[in-house]
Amino acid sequence: MTDPVPLHTPARQPGDPDAALRPRKLAEFVGQEGAKGNLAVFIAAARARGEAMDHTLFFGPPGLGKTTLAQIIAGELGVGFRATSGPVIAKAGDLAALLTNLEPHDVLFIDEIHRLSPVVEEVLYPAMEDRALDLIIGEGPSARSVRIDLPPFTLIGATTRQGLLTTPLRDRFGIPVRLNFYSHEELERVVTRAAGLLGLAIAPDGAHEIARRSRGTPRVAGRLLRRVRDFADVAGAASVTRAVADDALTRLEIDRLGLDSMDRRYLTMIATTSKGGPVGNETLAAGLAEPRDTVEEVVEPFLIQLGLIARTARGRVLNDDGWAHLELARPVDSSAPQQSGLFDEDG
């Protein structure tokens, strides 16, 4: 047996700023209204029947609240919450240790579930469907199969790469939930709520300025709010106004769309090295000195949502809005397919 698989029940920690801002109830969770409404029904139904809620899969870009929603579900159900991550479950025995230590109706949360090994996945299938583990004990001629019954439990998986999930695993989740980027209005509510929890005075225009530069992502909004608070405290500002927020975020190199230096390097590479594209993602990742997964999961989704770039069969291309944001003229022979922006806004 390997070292114990990391397994924990999250709690508020004095040094964990994200935990302090994280909602604890479904009613406190801002955004994702459709998903939230459906989850409220599933939670209420499971509680009324005295059953474990069906297995649930959260998928979508990082930072949208997958872990938070999993914790909220456990809290609303009044059951235990255990969390781990796909890459650290190395062997079937590791998964067996996790599952056999669950109490009835507990929630087991596996982040990055698309990174489970095929061997571990095979053990997970009967656990999800039949609430049983089929394990091989021993080796060679003396090996024998043993079935271990499990208590009813809810598996909640989270992934930023739904396409990397195998079909058998994906089909075993009875409740698939896609999480989408947040609107500016939703992020303003996130920022205002977080400022209240931090005891920070913030003007409506200050909350708006932070929200529109937060990449449609609550996690980013919380991080930027804490950094703006640092600048405001040092400057002796009585409250975070638009001017205070703009000054802080400009110094942090976060532009009016929420793009940072890596985003601008990405756009500039397409514009200057390939005249607007198409250019392959391997080339872009090498030029940025970043792993391809980071480029695909962190950089590109928001740029696509903004309509600055488009993915084509031949590679990435820069749209008209991308050229305009870089304040560069499109070459005469460049013709990228266009895509409308989700967060188009003047100013």
Three-state DSSP state, 102: coil
Among candidate residues 150, 128, 181, 155, the one with its CA nearest the CA of residue 70: 155
Candidates 22, 172, 212, 219; catalytic one: 219
Q: For 157, phi and psi rounded to 5 degrees? A: -105, 150
State the Cα–Cα distance between residues 307 and 304, nearest whole angstrom.
5
Instruction: Tell me if residue 134 is catalytic.
Output: no
Candidates 68, 154, 160, 192; catalytic one: 160
The CA-atom distances, in angstroms, between 218 and each of 34, 92, 281 are 17, 35, 27
Instruction: Tell me if residue 66 is catalytic.
Output: yes
Residue type, 228: V
Q: Concatenate the DSSP letters of all residues of 108-168 into one string.
A: EEEETGGG--HHHHHHHHHHHHHSEEEEEESSGGG-EEEEEE----EEEEEES-GGGS-HH
Instruction: Tell me if residue 67 is catalytic.
Output: yes
Among candidate residues 309, 204, 322, 213, the one with its CA nearest the CA of residue 258: 213
State the Cα–Cα distance between residues 267 and 260, nearest whole angstrom.
11
Candidates 67, 68, 84, 217; catalytic one: 67
- Long-range Cβ pairs for the range 18-21 (8 Å, 24+): 18/219, 18/222, 20/197, 20/198, 21/193, 21/194, 21/197, 21/198, 21/222
52: which residues sit within 8 A by CB, 6+ positions away? Answer: 46, 79, 104, 105, 152, 153, 154
Instruction: Supply the residues annotated as catalytic.
Output: 66-67, 111, 160, 219
